[in-house]
Every structure is written in structure tokens, then in C-alpha cells.
């Protein structure tokens, strides 16, 4: 009876403002969605490219530094979302706290970013499968992956949550296993009995030289690692996108933001350290794997290390786990892209058609649009996979940094509005530390990296028009979206004293007051809810 009452309350709380999604995602789902959307092939395979460009020390330092910017963005996001946990929150907050045109540009930028990542991961899945055999045609694999994404995302949100929970849990187990593998083999636990420790930090060295000789070359190598970190490390945006479908969000969301940040920081920082321990940055096999576009995990520093040490079977296991990682990441991108489009439609910034949901609370037309974008992965059938993957990477790198810049700007306006309207931050459900300084820190770092991300095209002899366009297209598109909507709708930037901080807050307060937790269905769920609660 309690479960039925909870469902009824959930439905009422969701539909009052036109939002037809259901609050069915538990704390464990939210946390693993954040991890699942962030950990993909970049942590296991593409990180090797950073090692080649900058060396082990540059890679480790760059990943560590960028985690501080992700912490700043997380603090901004956590305070706002816990105050008002609604669907597509940071997109809608941008319109409410800054300017409706700002929200329009932010929303469409995020949708393009997430939607473009879906064919990226579909293409990656195809490449990974061809690690074992070329017998299955690329078109067949791509079609199967897209159909699976459709089934998982259209059935119901709780099915998505469960699917993402288990695949993301597999990613966590894989990175933990690879970190343990690194620790064991570096101390001599390998077939060669080689106790190599940090040998490769001294030979060939801790810093690689890129594009130029001397100190400038080492700096450019570090900068390339920092750019890779800015594309690879994420988290708060994926957690926030599930806020409108989270059970008991005022309690669940702060825990989810904190847990996801600390876990991801551990994985990315230690992962960047591990690959620099396992393989020298000038390893010929790893360089050849990237230059020749070898399939699957062939270019992974972990697989390269296993081959160097004469370890068999493990490379196949790593490739299988990387496949689940890529599939899970793509699944998260379908979810986030569809919910961002749904949020835009709720705010009147996309056709009203996209607000329609199934009886189980799934925005069906939004999901179908994202799956249609995923069909771009069929470009691989007539083009080299490595080229197609790079197209998508270049297109979305700037978009992610723009997203984080938007979050920081929105928070700074939120903070200013609280102060101007005499609302104490102590009254908020969650008060983030270091504010508003963290907001400014995150904003400055993300804006600088947005423009720096495509810098190699400006070096002597490196000019390439397609690379320039893919790297900087969204930087030009976003102002066009902003000023286009502003001129069409005659919007303006809100003063701090007129920002509506409490729209929909009463609905969340009522939901929290009458919330009845849904019980765990079995012993396994009880254990999982306790572990990730």
C-alpha cells in the first residue's frame, strides 16, 4: 500500500508544472548514472594519447588540476539543484536566473553536445567489437546498438536506471581492477618478474616534448593533456539531469553529487597515474595503435602493458569490459540528450510535441529524435572509424566547456539573487563550500579552456580548416542562438532583485513533506541501496 501511495504522490508532484516524468530513480541509480555517463572509452583507451603527447607527469598533473575545476562546477550545480530538483535543471535555471535567451542557447548547446556523443559511442562500440573479428559488418553492429538504446530508454525510466546501474557498476569494477593490476605488476607480480615501479618516469622521462623543443615543448605537451582532461572528466551535469526523476531529491541529490565527484576524481587521477607507470610515453606499439587506428582496446595503455609483460587472456577481458563501458556511456547520452530536449520543450524553447510522455513517464518523441541523430554513426560505413570518431570529439569538446561555463554563470546570478533578496544561504537544503569563489574559479578556467582547446591549428604548419571548424563551431553557434532568441522574444537579462527563486519550490516542498520511500524488493536491492544510499 505504501508503494502505491508513493507512486501516486510521485505522479502528482511531477505533473503540476507540466512535467510528466516520474520520480522512480533511487540514490544508487543517480550515483551510477553520473559515473556511467562519464567513464567511457576515454579513461581506458584515449588516455594513452595524452600519455604520448605529454608524458606521465604532465598527464597526472593535468588530470589532477582539472578535477579542481570539476569540483567548482559540482559545488555550483549541487546547491542550485538541491534547492529546486526539476527536469533538465541547469538548462532551465539559465533561463530563470540569467536571461531566457541564455537558457535557450545553453539548452540547445547541451542537447547538441549530448546528441553528438551518442553516435560517438555507437561508433566506438563497433570499433571495439572488431578487436576480435571483422566478420560482422559495421552497419549490422551499429543497427543493433541503436535498437538496444531505443528499447532501454523507451520502456520506462526504472528500466533505464537498472540497466545503467549494472553497466556502470561494471565500469567501476574494471577501473578498480586495472588500478590493482598496476600496483601488483609494478612491484614485480608479472610473468617477467620485473619490478619496474616508476622506471618510465625517469626513462624516457616524466615530460614529453610536443610541437617544439625545450621548455615550450614540455608546456605544449602539458597543455594537450589538460585539453584531454577537460574533455574526459565530467560528472555534475549527468547527475543533475536525473534530478526531476529522483526519489526524495533533497536528500538524494547532495549525496549523489558528493559521491560521484569523489569517486570520479579517484578514478581519473589514479588512472592517469597508472598509465604513466605501466607504459613509457614513447612506446612503439601504443603509438602505432593510435596512428593506424587499431580496433578496440589495442591502443589502451593497459593492454599494451599486458602485451609488454607477456600476459595473455586479460587483454580480451579488458576489451569486453571497455565494450560495456562504451555501451553504457552511449546509453547515458541518449537519456541526457532526450531529457535536455524535454526540458527545452517544457520551457517553450522547443516544439510542444516534445513534452509528450508515455504512461510510464518517458518523453517518447525526445528519445526518438536522439536515436535519429544516432544514425549519423552509419557514416562509418563509408569512412574510416578513426576519422568519424575525431569528427564527433572535435565538435563536442567546446560544447562541454561551454556547458560548465553556463553552470558557473548561472550559479553566480543565483548567488547574487539570494543576496539581493535577503535570502540566507543557510536556509537552503544544501549550502556549498567556497562560494561564490568556486563559481568564479570554475568560470575563468572553463572559458579559457574553451578557446584553448583547438590551439594546435594555429601553430606553424598545423593549419587545418576542418579541424578549426569542428573545434570552434559551437563557440560561434551559441552567440547566434542567444542573440537570435533575444531578438525574436525581446528577452532581457534579469536584475538580481527580480529573479524568481521560488518558482516550483512549493511543489518540491509538498513532495518532500508527503514522501513515502518505496521499499527494496529483495535482499540484493537492500544491500545495494545501503551501499549507494
pLDDT digits (tens), the chain, 533 positions: 333 343 333 333 343 445 555 566 666 667 776 676 677 677 888 888 899 999 999 999 999 999 999 999 989 988 998 888 887 788 789 989 999 999 999 889 988 888 888 887 887 788 788 778 777 787 888 888 889 888 888 875 556 666 667 777 788 888 899 999 999 999 999 999 899 999 999 999 899 999 888 899 999 999 999 988 988 887 777 777 777 777 777 777 887 787 777 877 888 999 999 999 999 999 888 888 877 767 667 778 898 899 888 888 888 888 888 888 888 778 878 888 888 888 888 878 888 888 888 877 788 899 999 999 888 777 766 555 556 556 666 667 788 899 899 999 999 999 999 999 999 999 888 898 899 999 999 999 999 998 888 888 888 888 877 778 777 888 888 999 999 999 999 999 999 999 988 888 888 878 777 766 666 666 766 666 666 66
CA distance 164 to 177: 20
Q: In Å, what is the CA distance from 256 to each residue of 234, 238, 427? A: 14, 11, 20
3-class SS of residue 386: helix
CA distance 42 to 387: 16
CA distance 328 to 335: 11
Grid cell 605501466 is found at 278
Angle between helices 385-420 and 89-97 (to 10 degrees): 50
CA distance 143 to 134: 16
- Alpha helices (H) in 355-436, listed in sequence order: 364-374, 385-420
Nearest Cα neighbor of 240 from 84, 105, 376 is 84
- Interior angle at CA 332, CA 326 and CA 338, nearest 5: 135
Which pLDDT value is given to residue 88? 74
Q: Please provide residue 422's backbone torsions phi and psi, each rounded to the nearest 5 degrees.
A: 70, 25
Q: In Å, what is the CA distance from 333 to each residue of 156, 435, 477? A: 16, 30, 21
- Interior angle at CA 84, CA 512 and CA 8, nearest 5: 40
Angle between helices 249-278 and 301-308 (to 10 degrees): 40
Which pLDDT value is given to residue 417? 94
Q: In Å, what is the CA distance from 165 to each residue of 172, 212, 520? A: 11, 45, 15
User: Is 87 in contact with 343 (CB distance < 8 Å)?
Assistant: yes
Which pLDDT value is given to residue 8? 39
Which pLDDT value is given to residue 390? 63
Q: Is 352 exposed, middle or buried (0-12, 13-18, 19+ CB in 10 A)?
A: exposed
Amino acid at each position: 500500500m505504501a508503494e502505491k501511495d508513493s507512486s501516486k504522490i510521485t505522479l502528482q508532484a511531477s505533473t503540476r508544472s507540466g512535467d510528466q516524468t516520474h520520480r522512480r530513480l533511487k540514490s544508487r541509480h543517480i550515483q551510477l548514472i553520473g559515473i556511467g555517463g562519464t567513464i567511457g572509452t576515454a579513461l581506458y583507451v584515449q588516455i594513452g594519447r595524452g600519455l604520448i603527447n605529454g608524458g606521465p607527469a604532465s598527464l597526472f598533473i593535468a588530470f589532477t588540476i582539472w578535477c579542481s575545476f570539476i569540483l567548482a562546477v559540482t559545488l555550483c550545480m549541487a546547491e542550485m539543484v538541491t534547492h529546486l530538483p526539476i527536469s533538465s535543471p541547469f538548462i532551465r535555471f539559465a533561463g530563470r536566473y540569467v536571461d531566457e535567451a541564455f537558457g535557450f542557447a545553453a539548452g540547445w548547446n547541451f542537447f547538441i553536445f549530448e546528441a553528438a556523443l551518442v553516435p560517438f559511442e555507437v561508433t566506438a562500440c563497433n570499433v571495439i567489437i572488431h578487436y576480435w573479428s571483422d566478420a560482422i559488418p559495421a552497419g549490422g553492429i551499429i543497427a543493433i546498438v541503436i535498437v538496444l538504446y531505443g528499447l532501454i530508454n523507451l520502456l520506462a525510466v526504472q528500466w533505464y536506471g537498472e540497466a545503467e546501474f549494472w553497466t556502470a557498476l561494471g565500469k567501476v569494477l574494471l577501473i578498480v581492477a586495472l588500478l590493482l593490476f598496476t600496483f601488483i605488476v609494478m612491484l614485480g607480480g608479472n610473468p617477467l618478474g620485473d619490478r619496474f615501479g616508476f622506471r618510465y618516469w625517469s626513462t624516457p622521462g616524466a615530460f614529453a616534448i610536443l610541437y617544439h623543443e625545450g621548455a615550450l615543448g614540455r608546456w605544449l605537451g602539458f597543455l594537450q593533456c589538460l585539453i584531454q582532461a577537460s574533455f574526459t572528466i565530467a560528472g555534475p551535469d549527468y547527475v543533475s539531469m536525473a534530478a526531476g526523476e529522483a526519489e526524495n531529491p533533497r536528500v538524494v541529490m547532495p549525496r549523489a553529487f558528493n559521491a560521484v565527484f569523489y569517486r570520479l576524481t579517484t578514478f581519473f587521477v589514479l588512472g592517469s597515474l597508472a598509465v604513466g607507470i605501466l607504459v613509457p610515453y614513447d612506446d612503439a606499439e601504443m603509438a602505432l595503435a593510435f596512428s593506424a587506428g587499431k580496433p578496440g582496446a589495442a591502443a589502451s595503455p593497459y593492454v599494451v602493458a599486458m602485451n609488454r609483460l607477456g600476459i595473455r587472456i586479460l587483454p580480451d577481458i579488458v576489451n569486453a569490459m571497455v565494450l560495456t563501458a562504451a555501451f553504457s556511456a552511449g546509453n547515458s547520452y541518449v537519456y541526457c540528450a532526450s531529457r535536455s530536449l524535454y526540458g527545452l520543450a517544457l520551457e517553450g524553447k522547443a516544439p510542444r510535441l516534445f513534452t509528450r510522455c508515455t504512461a510510464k513517464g518517458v518523453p517518447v518523441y525526445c528519445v526518438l529524435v536522439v536515436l535519429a541523430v544516432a544514425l549519423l554513426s552509419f557514416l562509418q560505413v563509408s569512412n574510416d572509424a578513426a576519422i568519424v570518431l575525431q569528427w564527433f570529439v572535435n565538435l563536442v569538446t567546446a560544447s562541454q566547456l561551454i556547458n560548465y561555463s553556463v553552470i558557473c554563470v548561472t550559479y553566480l546570478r543565483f548567488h547574487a539573487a539570494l543576496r539581493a533578496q535577503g535570502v540566507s544561504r543557510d536556509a537552503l537544503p544544501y549550502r556549498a563550500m567556497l562560494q561564490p569563489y568556486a563559481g568564479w574559479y570554475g568560470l575563468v578556467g572553463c572559458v579559457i579552456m574553451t578557446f584553448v582547446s583547438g590551439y594546435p591549428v594555429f601553430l606553424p604548419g598545423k593549419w587545418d580548416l576542418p579541424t578549426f571548424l569542428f573545434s570552434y563551431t559551437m563557440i560561434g553557434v551559441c552567440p547566434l542562438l542567444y542573440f537570435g532568441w533575444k531578438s525574436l522574444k525581446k528577452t532581457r537579462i534579469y536584475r538580481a532583485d527580480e529573479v524568481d527563486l521560488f518558482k516550483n519550490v512549493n511543489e518540491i516542498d509538498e513532495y518532500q513533506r508527503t514522501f513515502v520511500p518505496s521499499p527494496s524488493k529483495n535482499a540484493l536491492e537492500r544491500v545495494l541501496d545501503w551501499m549507494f544510499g
